[in-house]
Each structure stands twice: as C-alpha cells, then as structure tokens.
Structure 1
C-alpha cells in the first residue's frame, strides 16, 4: 500500500515548465514549477514484463506511433532533428513508475518554447496506446495542451495515466538501459519521492534512424556512461 501511495503521488508530479502556479495537496508550488495532477488516480495495474530486446551499447530505440499521436510524434521528431535533446538528462527516476527526461532546465520546469496539443481521450483525441512497461509519453502541466519536450518512459503498467497523457511511442530495444537508471543513487526530489539522481543520467544524443517494417519512425537514444 505504501508503494502504491508513493507511486500515485509521484504521478501527480509529472513536471513541465509552462509558468503556472499549481496547488498540490494544499501547498502551492513555486510559480516557476509545473506539477501535473493526474485527473483519475487509482492503484497502478500489475507490472507486465514485456519482451524487449536488450542492447549492449548504452542505446535505447523508441518506435514512434504517429497512428496514435501524430502531432506529438511530429513535435518529438522535430526536436530530435534539431539536436535539442543532446546533453539533457533524465532528472526523475521513480521505482515502479517511470523515468522522466528531456528538460533543458534539468529540474522539471523547462520547455522548448513550443507546446503541442494533448493527444489523449480527456482532451477529445482518441489514443489507443496505453501506458504499460516501455511506453513513452509526454509530461505536461495541468493545462491539457501544455506538453513541450519532456517525456517519460514507463517502468510498469500505469493504466491510471491512460486518457490523461499523450503516449506516443514504445521502447523496442534497450529497455535494460532504462532499467539501469534505477541503479544510480538517488535523493529526495521535489516530488517528495526518492527520484533525483545523485549523478547525471545524461543523453549523449538522439537521432532518427530507419523506420521499422511497418513504416513507423524510430529514434535512437545514446546515453553517456551513467554507471561509471
């Protein structure tokens, strides 16, 4: 039960940087911080282990799903092609929940200067990509169309996020690298969870690679050695 409560609270704190003041549990966040309240909270679904091929070179391959979230995929692909993510970090790593990164501020408050329409059911958009292990989705503020550049990768099934966050891709190679993020010592973060890596988990680069057999775009994340 304690773990479920911790995960639920962490889910309320998917941070982006759009400049609003949001009240979480009665305490106002600083005006520069963006804390996302999940509309429908509940117990996380059972952890479903997916068979995702490992990589041995610190790389993660994400297959984008423009059939589910075309605008989100286009936004992500444009950022990748611009080299936006090079040198950024995964600043939040939460056991049994997710790893969040892609923030130029490095603390959950930054953005790219652009936002994208929230492609999820509670914002009037059908999206059949559900939050399970390996799924990649956009962090946002309480404003439905506030997603910018920050994304997260699910460690476990998190069906309580379905309908409220724009899932747009899946890790199809290298989930073992994402799992290794959990080996980095972490301290208490602004989400009141042990989520803030003590040493940076840095993205060396993200590049678009050859589409998969179904024509879905793919992105390869190359990580710096974060387990030195």
Structure 2
C-alpha cells in the first residue's frame, strides 16, 4: 500500500499546486467578497501552525482573506491518500499570482509537522519554491513519506468528517492515473478566518457543498 501511495504521490510534483500560508499575522475579519451561503453547506476548520511554516501560513491566510478560495473546488480526491483543492483552473495546473518558498527539510527548512491524518500541506511542482494556492488534506497516517518534501502547515481540527464525505462522490480516472477526479463538484462556497484557538493559532473555516 505504501508503495502504491508513493507512486500516486509523485503526481503532486507533476502539476503546479498549492502555495500556502499563514504567518498568522493579524486576525482581522475577512473582507466581504459577496459569497452567499445557502444554509446546507458542510464545513471544516483548518488550524494554522506558523511555528512550522510561517511563510506558508501567511500566504494561505492572505488568500483566505482576499476571498481567493471562494467558488473553487477540490479537483482531486484519492482514497487512503488525500484531497486536493485551491486551483482556479480546477485541474491541478493553476495557482495564485505568486509562489512561495517551500518550507520543508529538503529545501533547508526544519519543519517537523508530519503528514498524518488531517494534516494540511501545500502542493507544488518539481521546483521546491513553486507552491502557490493549491493545498491538500491527508486522509491517513500513511502519508508520512511526504515528510521533508512538502510544506505541511496546518491541520483540520474540526469537521474532518466533511473532508471524509468527499470520498462519497463517484470519481473517474484523473490525469494522475488514479480514480481521483470527482464526477460531481466539491465546491468551496466560502472560506474565512475565524477566532484563534486557545493557543493563539490562527484558524480558517471552509464551507463546502459536496456534489450536486
């Protein structure tokens, strides 16, 4: 299983993916970007750990506050591996206007946050400093082989069952060679910064609709 997951994970380097965030600077309210919540969304909360990846956290938080993620999708969902989203192109090839330094040991950064279930990390191309807006959420503790190669920066601390529900959507063969492309949209209706946790870590809440 680990060998198969490693092969699938190589596709994380095949397309430009996420550049993530949050120095977790200030916690001012996110701007009103016009996103309308219908009342039937599910949600999950990402807690940002700037002690491990300050550049990534800052970038991510800025994107959330700017409303960048509103209306985007989770375009790649792989059972026993991860769910990936945050691409304005919706196919793993896009990002925001800037890229950031990859905060992981292979790139000279001592990031001790391990890729276990619920951990949020940045996608990237083969270039170490290519992360932009795309991020992925780990489904299992077997994702630790990504440690040192990708910038883990946060964790889903509430609503992991929402992320699990992505797996209920039928998937077709994706460009990664896996059954990873959702046949119905998994849409981020709105993302916003919310209050810090008890330890002062900044948090973002993502409201999503799963399927039609």
Deviation at 1:6, TM superposition (A): 3.3
2-structure distance, mates of 1:143, 1:132: 23
Match of 1:108 among 92, 100, 107: 92
Matched, 1:99 2:99: no
Q: Which runs of 4+ in 1 moved over 4 A?
A: none
Deviations 1:132-189 (A, max 9, x none): 0000000000100000000000001211100000000000000000000000000000
RMSD: 1.7
SS of structure 1 residue aligned to 2:44? strand
Aligned to 2:34: none
User: CA separation in 1, counterparts of 2:85 and 2:47?
Assistant: 17
Deviations for 1:182-209, whole angstroms, at most 9, x for unmatched residues?
Answer: 0000000000000000011000011000
Match of 1:200 in 2: 185
Tell me the CA shift for residue 4 of structure 1.
3.7
Instruction: Kindly indicate whether the alpha-carbon contact (under 8 Å) linking 1:87 and 1:204 is maintained by their aligned counterparts in 2.
Output: yes
Structure 1 residue matching 2:67: 3-state secondary structure: coil
Q: Look up the SS of the partner of 1:205 in the other structure.
A: strand
Taking the aligned partners of 2:191 and 2:200, their CA distance within structure 1 comes to 19
Q: Report SS of the residue matched to 1:202.
A: strand
Q: Give me the whole-angstrom Cα distance separating, in 1, the residues matched to 2:3 and 2:58.
A: 35
Q: Under a length normalisation based on structure 2, what TM-score does the superposition of the two structures give?
A: 0.86
Aligned position for 2:119: 135
Larger RCO, structure (CA 8 Å, separation 6 or more) = 2
Q: Which residue of 2 aligns with 1:49?
A: none
Aligned to 2:159: 174
* 1:67-106 equivalent positions in 2, closer than 5 A: 67-106=51-90
Aligned twin of 2:28: none
Match of 1:164 among 146, 149, 158: 149
For 1:198-223, what per-residue CA distance to the aligned partner results, in whole angstroms no more than 9, with x for missing partners? 01100001100000010000000000
Q: Within 2, Cα distance between the matches of 1:161 and 1:179?
A: 20
How much has 1:5 moved relative to structure 2? 4.0
Q: Structure 2: how far apart are the matches of 1:185 and 1:210?
A: 35
Deviation of 1:227 after TM superposition, in Å, equals 4.1
Partner of 1:52: none
Q: Alignment partner of 1:105: what SS?
A: coil
Structure 1: give runs of 5+ residues left out of the alignment: 16-21, 23-32, 36-55
1:212 maps to which residue? 197
Q: Would the aligned equivalents of 1:6 and 1:193 in 2 still touch at CA under 8 Å?
A: no
Q: Cα gap change, 1:64/1:94 in structure 2, threshold over 3 Å: closer, same or farther? A: same
Matched position secondary structure for 2:60: helix
Task: State the number of aligned residues.
Answer: 190
Distance 2:66 2:41 in 1: 23
